């Protein structure tokens, strides 16, 4: 439920109370600044306002900029990072800049970015990008590092997991690699190059290694 954080306090409280009683609604506190270029400190304050006295599960701030000569299109993103360190519990922040000048803000925003689609006759808002355009931008700017994934088992030459997972990565424009880790023991894998690579993203573990890998896990 997207709730304007500057709305009437009494009406906001009633709306949030009704939503909380239903146990199903997550609250997104939001605020749009249209036509005014605010400072970084003011933007941080807006994120804190959008916490709705810690009743919101996420905060969204959409800003306007006068120009983009000094990376102003990163203002909402920088403010979101700064605001996230000020309050507990931490909640997801969404930071966007209005208009075509703010297209890059949609690339660097890490989560829940509104998108358009190639099949739609028009964009819902100026500056909106498709998911494909956002992923392409993230790849070009190295915002999405390539990671290694694998299926872990012995005698798995028959497995089609690499083709399936690799196709899925390609479909959503992720630069990841999914391979087979064919080893007789879990220890071979744990001591090997994939597990110890700083870009190791994870693996699917099948019998007989499913139990033996438990002792190497941080969380089960």
List pLDDT tens digits, range 54-98.
999 999 999 999 888 889 999 999 999 999 999 999 999 999 999
- At residue 22, the pLDDT reads 82
- At residue 18, the pLDDT reads 92
* Mean pLDDT computed over 151-169: 93
* Mean pLDDT computed over 202-219: 90
- At residue 36, the pLDDT reads 93
- At residue 175, the pLDDT reads 92
- End-to-end alpha-carbon separation of the chain, Å? 32
- At residue 99, the pLDDT reads 93
Angle (CA) 204-209-211 rounded to 5° is 105
* Mean pLDDT computed over 113-142: 92
* Mean pLDDT computed over 194-210: 91
% helix / strand / coil in the chain, to the nearest 5? 40, 20, 45
Joined tokens for residue 15: 């709306």
- Parallel/antiparallel/unpaired status of strands 177-182 and 200-205: unpaired
111 burial (CB, 10 Å; 0-12 / 13-18 / 19+) is exposed
- 220 pLDDT above the threshold of 80: no
What rounded mean pLDDT belongs to the chain? 93
> Would the pTM count as exceeding 0.85?
no
List pLDDT tens digits, range 10-40.
999 999 999 998 878 899 999 999 999 999 9
- At residue 68, the pLDDT reads 83
Residue 155, by phi and psi: left (phi above 0), alpha (psi -120 to 50) or beta? Answer: left
């Amino acid at each position: 439920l997207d709730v304007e954080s500057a709305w009437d306090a009494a009406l906001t409280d009633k709306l949030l109370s009704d939503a909380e009683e239903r146990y199903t609604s997550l609250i997104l506190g939001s605020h749009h600044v249209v036509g005014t270029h605010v400072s970084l400190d003011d933007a941080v304050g807006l994120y804190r306002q959008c916490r709705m006295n810690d009743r919101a599960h996420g905060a969204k701030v959409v800003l306007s900029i006068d120009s983009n000569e000094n990376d102003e299109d990163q203002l909402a993103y920088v403010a979101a990072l700064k605001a996230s360190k000020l309050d507990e519990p931490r909640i997801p922040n969404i930071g966007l800049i209005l208009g075509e000048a703010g297209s890059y803000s949609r690339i660097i925003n890490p989560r829940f970015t509104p998108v358009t689609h190639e099949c739609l006759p028009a964009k819902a808002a100026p500056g909106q990008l498709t998911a494909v355009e956002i992923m392409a931008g993230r790849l070009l700017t190295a915002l999405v590092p390539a990671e290694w994934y694998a299926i872990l088992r012995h005698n798995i030459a028959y497995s089609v997991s690499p083709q399936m997972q690799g196709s899925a990565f390609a479909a959503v424009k992720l630069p990841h690699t999914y391979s087979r880790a064919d080893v007789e023991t879990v220890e071979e894998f744990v001591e090997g190059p994939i597990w110890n690579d700083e870009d190791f993203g994870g693996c699917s573990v099948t019998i007989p290694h499913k139990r033996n890998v438990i002792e190497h896990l941080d969380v089960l």
